[in-house]
Amino acid sequence: MQTHIEEILRRLGGADAAATLTGVSPEAVRKWRSANAIPPRHWSAIMAATGLTMAEFSAAPADSEVPPGATAALVLADGSIFWGRGFGAFGVSAPSELCFNTGLTGYQETLTDPSYAGQIITFTFPHIGNTGTNAEDMEAAQIFARGLVVKEDFSAPSNYRSTADLGEWLRRMGIPGISGVDTRALTLRIRDLGAPSAVLAYPEDGKFDLAALAAIAAGWAGLEGLDLAKEVSCTQSYQWEGGTWGWENGFAAPEGGKRVVAIDYGAKRNILRSLASAGCQVTVVPATATAEQILAHAPDGVFLSNGPGDPAATAEYAVPAIQGVIEAGVPIFGICLGHQLLATALGGSTYKMERGHRGANQPVKDLTTGKVEITSQNHGFCVDEKSLPDGVEVTHVSLFDGSNEGIACKAKRVFSVQYHPEASPGPSDSTYLFSRFVEMMG
């Protein structure tokens, strides 16, 4: 049986003692009480202090009968259950990090963004799926998120470009979804307690082993220390063709100029399109490519793509390659994971954020111009500004929490940003960065 939060605090000697033991503020403990849950990262310390067992933290509630009409369940590592109506593919997702995204549009681009590998996505906007899906809006050949959580049932597609509704598309891709969930409560829980581990179950026979599902979620180690770039990267080099999409003519067919090698740590297609439309001839290479293999293409510049997982894990093989390119004097531009890897190659480090930045409404200030850009973002790790060496300039900061959003090293002709200037989905305030990269190449 799961132990109530008040009983746990009593055993710890009260709220203040609990805050001291776990190294959090009294306000954080207040949020534990409000959510009736404690973040899993504190469980070991509390178990040691109280004698509680893992089962007492994560056991399913006694009232675990399937509610009328429920065909799917989102089960968190602490045993919390969010019931709803399943759609998409039958099955149980792999254990994943549960995150929220604040975007109003672009759900198809979000789900196919390789940076979401290892995660279940809940959208804060309630009406997801109403414009259907199509082949042109995919950022990769498959869905990389492990599950989808939404508030409302989606309606029949209302868009002339749609070729399949959201449920049919998810079924083809083998991904489960759940609707009817109180996504506001779920988002507040993630905001206050951090991103939990979870599994999404949509069993074809309608049977749920809730204790087993909670144990699967609780047993997952999470994204820290996990290298996922190898899992989502291409396996061999190829030449990218095609520019950005236009309303009347579809995808452009620009002529390439500068030779750019894009290292694929989980690259979104619209980043490659944006490079092509900026006047680049783009060759894509796998995440594990060495400096020698990259430089063999005689690039005018090298692009470091976005991608999933812990940058510290991917850095083990990526950083030596990036440092080799820097030593060769080739200009570098990085986005998202590429930004974090460039910072690491220059001597910096990264850390795991409590809840990350995910959505298309994130304000960022460019410190070099004083201008504010509304950006699209998707990251759960961040560059530690304090770790950056002399000569590496902080160029952009988040106006949400002051975290790092961009760096540059003029002496080495390299720069990077944490956010997504390719605007897919999201605003186009930052597309100038691709032109800046072309200008840097001369």
Q: Is 409 noted as a catalytic residue in this protein?
A: no
Residue 127 catalytic? no
Cis bond leading into 425, ω under 30°? yes
Would strands 72-76 and 197-202 be described as parallel, antiparallel, or unpaired?
Answer: antiparallel
Beta bridge partner(s), residue 2: none
Q: Which two tokens stand for residue 118?
A: 């290892």
Structure tokens at 263: 């290292």
Q: Taking the CA atoms of the chain, what radius of gyration do you get in angstroms?
A: 22
Q: Name the active-site residue from 280, 336, 382, 409.
A: 336
Give the burial string for 217-253 (b: 16+ CB within 10 Å, else e).
Answer: bbebebbeebbbbbbbbeeebeebebbbeeeeeebee
Respond yes or no: is residue 99 known to be catalytic: no
Contacts of 430 (CB under 8 A, 6+ apart): 364, 373, 375, 417, 419, 420, 421, 423
Paired tokens of 152: 């409302």
> Residues near 32 by Cβ (< 8 Å), separated by ≥ 6?
5, 18, 38, 39, 193
**Closest to 279 in 3D by CA, of 299, 252, 258:** 258
42, 357, 396, 420: which is the annotated catalytic residue? 420
Write out the catalytic residue numbers: 336, 420, 422
